[in-house]
RNA sequence: CACUUUGUAGCUCAGUCGGGUAGAGCAGUCGAUAAAUUAUCGAUUAGUCGCAGGUUCGAUUCCUGCCAAAGUAGCCA
């Protein structure tokens, strides 16, 4: 018996079936960086149209988590796909390095600034800490397969970035958007510092709840306003407060202009409260037998003079829309020093702040009676004083949620302090920003509504912080007038140049006379630092405009949907303030990673998925595939099961690539490729199908629907290739002689398919694509990532056997498979080659199927397949295609040991008694001929 | 509590701009194969389209309410 197996062309490849990604990927990465892939790509795209995706800087603190991974992988997919589309798409990663969380962590190590360490040392430690965090995160990102300029990332703490942040501020000052103002901000009396919003958490607090009477100064004036009324006793406006300590700072009582108010007789006195709240006030204060004496709108009392409950001073009634009927009395005690609404409404009436409470929460000397008292301890005394003055209507304890310092857990106060603001109104910045939203493409579209609603309620942006680790606000203000130095722009540039050399420490060390000369005695250095959101917000200037390979506006900003409030907004506002243009053309947002039930991940629930763990167990490409496969416009669910399914899909795609490669062993595209016209019909079709799919995939890359790409590629591998084309063509590849037209035709097709497929997959399965790339025959001196989409031939419009025909054939195959399966279940046949089928067809089907000549059996993978026209006495088993029935018999022929088909011609050739005629030709002669399949 | 987004088979996604028994792949199940072999091929089970109402001849698709999850803001005198 001859060993015919050696005459077959069985698949062979170096490309391993088992990915073993967790080990292989780090090796692949080594090559990327040894061979400078990023630089190679830049070179390959030099001079091409740019696509600029600007990296939103992650905060330099902590290990990377799944959210980081999602964000960076999406960016990487976009960068790589744009590159495949021919764009020059550089990726400069960045980090946000200043700010509070770093201060906290450093403080834990070295102690408090001013107590254990001086400011300069503290900042140095912060810088070192941030640098370490950057290195750690960088390593994590690189491991994810993100390609970028990791040797030259941007850090907001780079000296030149710091200098340009300062210059950015200078631009904004120059354009008149920066204003100095007072504003009540969250203030920690324990930390004696302002707090950023992010440092505030809400906790329950028990407060005093008191109702306080403000007596009328002039009853006659009141009567003029509200008309005649009766009753007897003193007349007071009643306010309700939960912060008695703010009463010494009271400067007004606010009423809603449009609410109805009542004058009520209550026992021996008369009280003013809002009509809508009368009952709740009566109940709380246990007021009996109230009588309505008069009714009037709030606006009637504007400027009415009231007596302060315990000071000899007069406070006015003022009007504000912030007064509601949710709670209280409808009359609001107003202390502009200690409430945002109070501050705003006070400003309207020219009522400023008093600054009675110092940074430690202690009343200043100017405060009568309570000077030197701490606001947290003074309340019982105030209440006692009110009581003795007869001004207290009611008191009780009250539990409500209240802002606390996240670190010390102590309750915060609002305290008006001088701060720097980027004004939304001074130079109509908000209007300009809102208008700019129109010209930006928001993906998904609801992002636009989101940013709009954020902008609508956008107050002036407080950019100053009383912090240590932040870019300084490099301004000089006049000691008396508080005005900015007239040469501010020039001074800022001078300072920026110093910062460029020595970092922001240059400002803190600066002796004013060195830049101001003799002016210095009149001017004061501002020591506040900038809100970190300013640092990152201004990167369109400090990074995009500075780096040669980038430009502003960027084509795309891409961050999680929380950044509508954050970076998207801060970038837009600063760019508009600086040069009146938006910093980006498109904004893409993604949802957050959630667990299998769509719940937030938290350590306490134990439902977190650590990217590091996924890397080690399943590999980076599986994580990347999960990101690509998930619709990122909503929440993105991850769990063990989901990742396991993803790994299954990964394997299928990998195996398809591997099989295609294995069929190309010994194939040289230059020498062996056939022109498209000479390919067998099914090979032409599969390429055509591939080309059409490729256009769909490119379109999906362009509109960022990666999950569709995943679905389509996977489906293509499973359905078109595995379940149809590759299964059918296997016979031809294996059994026909090496250099036959039939085999070269299949190889030509499959070669083009891998070329295309590996590129499709490269932005997503980057490691695998890179690994496969070097197994494809041909020149691979450039990385896949530097290549462009593979050019695929298409069937001409009037092609004989078009896509419709082949889809029809696939349907027939499925119908016949069902019959085969049924009969196999009955034990009549084994595999499909043990069967011989006759399709009994209507005229229509007959004329369709006879176009394949006697090659139909290779489609059906049966040993014999014949067509017969329908006639009355000639029917087979029904199929689900009307007009086709099947007669199926188990073949009685001998099995060809070479091709496994059962053929009557096995043994006709005396020298090869075990094989069929076709195989004899393929082994000894010039081979069989195929046209279609 | 408000606003926004999401809710289709165990998983990932289609789809329905009102109409005919709701689609695909994976997973599961059964079978084939041992020439993609910890692969591959075939067949096949599976969904009251979040819940409840309404409009309509007819709704998963339109409207309203509710529930769940997420994001953001606020929780103030």
DSSP string, A305-333: EEE-SSSS-EEEEEE-TT--SSSS-SEEE
Q: In the structure, how far is the CA atom of residue A711 from the C1' atom of nucleotide B30, in angstroms?
A: 27
SS3 content of chain A, % helix, strand, coil (to 5): 45, 20, 35
Asked if the Cβ of residue A561 lies within 7 A of any atom of strand B, the reply is yes
Q: Residue A445 CA to B61 C1' — how many Å?
A: 21
Going by their DSSP bridges, the two strands A235-241 and A476-478 should be labelled as unpaired
- Closest-approach nucleotide to residue A831, Cα vs C1': B32
Q: What are phi and psi of A539, to 5 degrees?
A: -65, -15
**Cβ contact A899 with chain B strand, < 7 A:** yes
How far apart CA A686 and CA A805 sit, in angstroms, is 12
- Alpha-carbon distance of A896 to A111, in angstroms, equals 85
**A341 CB neighbours strand B below 7 A:** yes
Q: pLDDT at residue A1 above 60? A: no
Residue A645 beta carbon within 7 A of nucleic strand B: yes
pLDDT digits (tens, 9 = 90+) for A807-854: 999 999 999 999 999 999 998 999 999 999 999 999 999 999 999 999
Indicate the pLDDT class of residue A453, thresholds 50, 70 and 90.
Answer: confident
Give the whole-angstrom CA distance, residue A59 versus residue A802: 55
Compute the mean pLDDT over every residue in chain A, rounded to the nearest whole number.
89
User: Measured between alpha carbons, how far is A61 from A105 in angstroms, rounded to an integer?
Assistant: 9
Give the closest nucleotide to A402 (alpha carbon vs C1'). B75
Strand nucleotide closest to residue A631 (CA to C1')? B13
CA closest to B72 C1', residue: A562
Nucleotide in closest CA–C1' contact with A626: B12
Q: How far is CA A696 from the centre of its chain?
A: 25
* DSSP H or E run through A755: helix A741-761
Closest CA to A471 of A61, A59, A167, A93: A167
For residue A648, say whether its CB is under 7 Å from any atom of strand B.
yes
CA–C1' span, A826 to B39, in Å? 27
Choose between A566 and A378: higher pLDDT: A566
Reported for A916-923, long-range contacts at CB under 8 A and 24+ positions apart, including other chains, are A918/A735, A919/A4, A919/A735, A922/A7, A922/A735, A922/A736, A922/A737, A922/A740, A923/A4, A923/A7, A923/A737, A923/A898
Specify the nucleotide whose C1' lies closest to residue A663 (CA).
Answer: B36
**Contact, A333 CB vs strand B, < 7 Å:** yes
pLDDT at A467: 82
Backbone phi and psi for residue A94, each to the nearest 5 degrees, phi listed first: -140, 170
pLDDT at A269: 79
* Owner of token pair 């799919």: A693
Positions 660-719 in A, CB within 7 angstroms of strand B: 662, 705, 707-708, 710-711, 714-715, 718-719
Model confidence at A401, pLDDT cuts 50, 70, 90, reads low
CB A191 within 8 Å of CB A104? no
Sequence-ordered strand ranges (E) for A102-164: 154-155
* Mean pLDDT in residue range A189-203: 65
A445 touches strand B (CB under 7 A): no
Does residue A329 approach strand B to less than 7 Å at its CB? no
CA A757, CA A714: separation in Å to the nearest integer?
11
- The predicted-structure confidence for A671-702, as pLDDT tens digits, reads as follows 999 999 999 999 999 999 999 999 999 999 99
**pLDDT at residue A151 in the model:** 96
The whole-number Å distance from A448's CA to B59's C1' is 30
Altogether, the residues listed in chain A come to a count of 933
Q: How far is the CA of A446 from the C1' of B18 (A)?
A: 25
Sign of CA dihedral A448, A449, A455, A456: positive
**Rounded Cα gap, residues A244 and A247, in angstroms:** 6
The answer to which of A243-252, A377-386, A634-643 has the lowest mean pLDDT is A377-386
Q: Is the CB of A730 under 7 A from strand B?
A: yes
Evaluate if residue A115 carries a pLDDT over 80.
no
* Protein CA A637 to sugar C1' B65 (Å): 28
Question: Which pLDDT score, from 0 to 100, does residue A325 have?
Answer: 64
Between A72 and A195, the more confident residue is A72
pLDDT at A305: 82
Pick the closest to residue A822 from A736, A916, A758, A886 (CA basis): A886
* Residue whose pair of structure tokens reads 């100095």 in the numeric block: A180
DSSP, collapsed to helix, strand or coil, labels residue A881 as coil
- pTM (2 d.p.): 0.87
Nearest nucleic acid nucleotide to A723, CA to C1' distance? B41
Strand partners, A260: A297
Q: Tell if A637 CB is < 7 Å from nucleic strand B.
A: yes
Instruction: Answer whether A836's CB lies under 8 Å from A889's CB.
Output: yes
Strand B reaches within 7 A of the A889 CB = no
Per the CB < 8 A criterion, the answer to whether A742 and A930 are in contact is yes
pLDDT class for A92, splitting at 50, 70, 90? Answer: very high
Rounded to whole angstroms, the distance from the CA of residue A663 to the C1' of nucleotide B23 is 33
**What pLDDT does residue A406 have?**
65
> In chain A, which residues from 733 to 762 place their CB closer than 7 Å to nucleic acid strand B?
734-735
- In this prediction, residue A90 has a pLDDT band, given cuts at 50, 70 and 90, of very high
Give the separation between CA A396 and CA A240, rounded to whole angstroms: 11
- Residue A528 has φ and ψ, to the nearest 5°, of -65, 160
CB A674 within 8 A of CB A745: yes
From residues 225-244 of A, which are strand B contacts by CB within 7 A? Answer: 239-243
- The whole-number pLDDT of residue A201 equals 67
Residue A287 to residue A291: CA distance in whole angstroms? 11
Per DSSP, what are the bridge partners of residue A306?
Answer: A216, A315
Nucleotides of B under 7 A from a protein CB: 3-7, 10-14, 24-27, 31-44, 69-77
Instruction: Please determine, for residue A704, whether its predicted confidence score (pLDDT) is greater than 80.
Output: yes
Q: Give ipTM to 2 decimals.
A: 0.94
Q: What is the pLDDT of residue A331?
A: 79
A657 CB below 7 A from strand B atoms: no
Span CA (A207) to C1' (B1), Å: 21
Which nucleotide is closest to the Cα of A707 by its C1'? B13
- Region A632-639: mean pLDDT is 92
Residue nearest to nucleotide B35 (CA to C1'): A10
pLDDT at A460 over 90: no
Rounded to an integer, the average pLDDT of A497-524 is: 91
Strand B contact at CB of residue A644, distance < 7 A: no
Whether A656 sits with its Cβ under 7 A from any strand B atom: the answer reads yes
Whole-number Å distance between alpha carbons of A78 and A95: 20
The answer to whether A2 CB sits below 7 Å from nucleic acid chain B is no
pLDDT value at residue A341: 73
Nearest nucleotide from residue A827 CA, by C1' atom: B31
What's the burial of A791, exposed, middle or buried (CB within 10 Å: 0-12/13-18/19+)? exposed
Nearest nucleotide (CA of A718 to C1') = B25
Q: Which of A807, A156, A760, A762 is nearest to A503 (CA)?
A: A156
Q: Which of residues 565-584 of A touch strand B (CB under 7 A)?
A: 565
DSSP state of A300: G
* Closest to A197 measured CA to CA, from A123, A99, A95: A99
User: Which of A416, A442, A449, A768 minimizes the C-alpha distance to A588?
Assistant: A442
Annotate A77-105 with three-state secondary structure.
HHHHHHHHCCCECCCCCEEECCCHHHHHH
Which token pair is A474? 């490099």
CB of A594 lies under 7 Å from some atom of strand B = yes
> Which residues is A255 bridged to in the sheet?
A319, A331
Nearest nucleotide to A12, CA against C1' atoms: B36
CA A335 from centre of chain: 41
- For the stretch A260-306, pLDDT in tens is 788 878 778 788 877 777 777 777 777 777 777 778 777 777 788 88
C1' (B57) to CA (A633) span, angstroms: 38
Taking phi over 0 as left and psi of -120 to 50 as alpha, with beta for the rest, A409 belongs to: left
**For the purposes of burial, counting CB atoms within 10 Å of the CB of A448, is it exposed (0-12), middle (13-18) or buried (19 or more)?**
middle
pLDDT at A225: 75
A480, pLDDT greater than 80: no
C-alpha triplet A436, A564, A167: angle, nearest 5° = 65
Phi-psi sector, A859: left (phi>0), alpha (psi -120 to 50), beta: alpha
Position A400 scores a pLDDT of 66
Q: How far is the CA of A711 from the C1' of B7 (A)?
A: 21
Q: Which window residues (149-178, chain A) lie with Cβ within 7 Å of strand B?
A: none
Q: How far is CA A220 from CA A217, A289, A292, in A?
A: 9, 26, 19
Report the alpha-carbon distance of residue A387 to residue A384 in Å, rounded: 5
Least confident of A150-159, A198-207, A598-607: A198-207
What is the pairing mode between strands A94-95 and A461-462?
unpaired
Instruction: Give the pLDDT score at A199.
Output: 59
Of the pLDDT bands very low, low, confident and very high (cuts 50, 70, 90), residue A862 is very high
CB A923 within 8 A of CB A7: yes
Helices of type H across A580-720: 611-617, 620-629, 640-662, 669-672, 681-702, 706-715
Q: Produce one character per residue of A554-577: b if its CB has 16 or more CB atoms within 10 Å, e if not.
A: bbbbbbbbebbebbbbbbbbbbbb
Assess contact for A259 and A346: CB atoms under 8 A. Answer: no
The reply to whether A817 has its C-beta less than 7 Å from any atom of strand B is yes
What is the SS3 string spanning A172-235? Answer: HHHCCCEEEEEEEEEEECCCCEECCHHHEEEEEEEEEEEEEEEEECCHHHHHHHHCCCCCCCCE
């Amino acid at each position: 018996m001859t060993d015919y197996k050696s005459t077959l062309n069985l698949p062979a490849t170096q490309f391993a079936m088992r990915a073993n990604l967790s080990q292989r990927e780090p090796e692949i990465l080594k090559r990327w960086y040894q061979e400078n892939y990023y630089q190679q790509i830049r070179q390959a795209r030099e001079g091409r149209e740019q696509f600029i995706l600007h990296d939103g800087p992650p905060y330099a603190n902590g290990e990377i988590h799944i959210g980081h991974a999602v964000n960076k992988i999406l960016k990487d997919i976009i960068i790589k796909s744009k590159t495949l589309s021919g764009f020059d798409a550089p990726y400069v990663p960045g980090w946000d390095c200043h700010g509070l969380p770093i201060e906290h962590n450093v403080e834990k190590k070295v102690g408090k600034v001013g107590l254990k360490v001086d400011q300069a040392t503290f900042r140095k430690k912060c810088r070192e800490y941030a640098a370490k965090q950057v290195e750690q995160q960088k390593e994590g990102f690189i491991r994810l397969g993100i390609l970028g300029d990791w040797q030259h990332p941007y850090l907001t703490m780079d000296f030149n970035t710091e200098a340009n942040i300062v210059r950015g501020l200078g631009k904004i000052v120059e354009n008149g958007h920066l204003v100095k103002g007072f504003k009540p901000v969250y203030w920690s009396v324990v930390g004696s510092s302002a707090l950023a919003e992010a440092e505030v958490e809400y906790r329950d607090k028990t407060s005093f709840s008191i109702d306080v009477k403000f007596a009328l100064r002039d009853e006659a004036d009141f009567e003029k306003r509200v008309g005649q009324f009766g009753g007897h006793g003193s007349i007071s406006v009643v306010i309700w407060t939960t912060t008695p300590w703010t009463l010494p700072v009271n400067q007004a009582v606010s009423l809603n202009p449009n609410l109805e108010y009542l004058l009520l007789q209550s026992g021996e006195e008369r009280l003013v409260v809002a009509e809508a709240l009368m009952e709740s006030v009566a109940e709380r204060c246990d007021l009996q037998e109230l009588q309505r004496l008069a009714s009037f709108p709030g606006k009637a009392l504007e400027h009415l003079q009231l007596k302060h409950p315990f000071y000899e001073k007069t406070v006015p009634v003022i009007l504000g829309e912030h007064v509601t009927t949710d709670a209280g009395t409808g009359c609001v005690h107003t202390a502009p020093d200690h409430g945002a609404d109070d501050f705003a409404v006070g400003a309207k009436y020219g009522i400023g702040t008093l600054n009675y409470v110092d940074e430690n929460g202690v009343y200043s000397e100017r405060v009568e009676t309570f000077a030197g008292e701490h606001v947290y301890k003074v309340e019982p005394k105030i209440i006692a004083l009110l009581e003795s003055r007869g001004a207290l209507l009611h008191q009780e304890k009250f539990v409500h949620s209240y802002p606390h310092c996240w670190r010390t857990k102590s309750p915060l106060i609002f305290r008006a302090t001088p701060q720097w603001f980027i004004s939304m109104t001074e130079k109509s910045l908000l209007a300009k920003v809102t208008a700019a939203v129109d010209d930006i493409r928001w993906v998904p579209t609801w992002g636009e509504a989101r940013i709009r609603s954020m902008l609508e309620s956008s107050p002036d942006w407080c950019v100053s912080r009383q912090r240590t680790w932040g870019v300084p606000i490099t301004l000089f203000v006049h000691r008396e007038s508080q005005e900015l130095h007239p040469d501010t722009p020039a001074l800022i540039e001078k300072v920026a140049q110093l910062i460029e050399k020595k970092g922001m420490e240059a400002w803190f060390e600066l002796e004013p006379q060195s830049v101001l000369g003799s002016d210095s005695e009149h001017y004061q250095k501002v020591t506040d630092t900038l809100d970190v959101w300013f640092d990152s917000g201004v990167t369109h200037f400090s990074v995009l405009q500075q780096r040669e390979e980038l430009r502003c506006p960027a084509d795309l900003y891409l961050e999680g949907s929380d950044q509508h409030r954050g970076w998207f907004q801060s970038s837009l506002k600063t760019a508009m303030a600086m040069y009146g243009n938006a910093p980006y053309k498109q904004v893409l947002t993604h949802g957050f990673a959630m667990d299998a039930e769509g719940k937030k991940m938290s350590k306490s629930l134990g439902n977190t998925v650590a990217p590091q763990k996924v890397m080690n167990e399943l590999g980076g490409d599986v994580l990347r595939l999960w990101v690509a496969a998930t619709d990122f416009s909503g929440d993105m669910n991850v769990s063990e099961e989901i990742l396991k399914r993803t790994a299954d899909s990964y394997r299928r795609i990998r195996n398809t690539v591997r099989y295609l490669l294995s069929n190309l062993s010994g194939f040289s595209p230059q020498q062996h490729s056939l022109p498209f016209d000479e390919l067998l019909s099914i090979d032409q079709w599969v390429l055509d199908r591939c080309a059409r799919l490729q256009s769909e995939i490119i379109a999906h890359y362009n509109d960022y629907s990666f999950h569709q790409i995943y679905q389509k590629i996977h489906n293509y591998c499973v359905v078109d290739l595995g379940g149809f084309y590759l299964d059918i063509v296997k016979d031809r590849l294996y059994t026909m002689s090496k250099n036959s037209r039939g085999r070269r035709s299949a190889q030509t097709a499959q070669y083009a398919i891998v070329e295309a497929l590996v590129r499709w997959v490269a932005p997503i399965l980057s490691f695998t694509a890179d690994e496969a790339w070097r197994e494809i025959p041909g020149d691979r001196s450039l990385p896949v990532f530097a290549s462009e989409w593979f050019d695929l031939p298409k069937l001409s419009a009037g092609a004989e056997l078009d896509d419709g025909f082949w889809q029809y054939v696939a349907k027939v195959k499925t119908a016949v498979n069902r019959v085969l399966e049924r009969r196999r279940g009955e034990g009549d046949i084994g595999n499909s080659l043990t069967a011989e089928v006759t399709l009994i067809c209507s005229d229509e089907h007959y004329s369709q199927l006879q176009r394949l000549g006697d090659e139909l059996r290779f489609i059906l993978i049966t040993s014999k397949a014949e067509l017969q026209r329908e006639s009355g006495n000639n029917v087979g088993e029904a199929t689900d295609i009307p007009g086709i029935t099947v007669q199926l018999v188990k073949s009685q022929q001998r099995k060809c040991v070479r091709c496994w088909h059962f053929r009557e011609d096995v043994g006709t050739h005396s020298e090869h008694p075990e094989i069929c005629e076709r195989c004899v030709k393929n082994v000894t002669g010039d081979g069989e001929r195929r046209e279609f399949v």
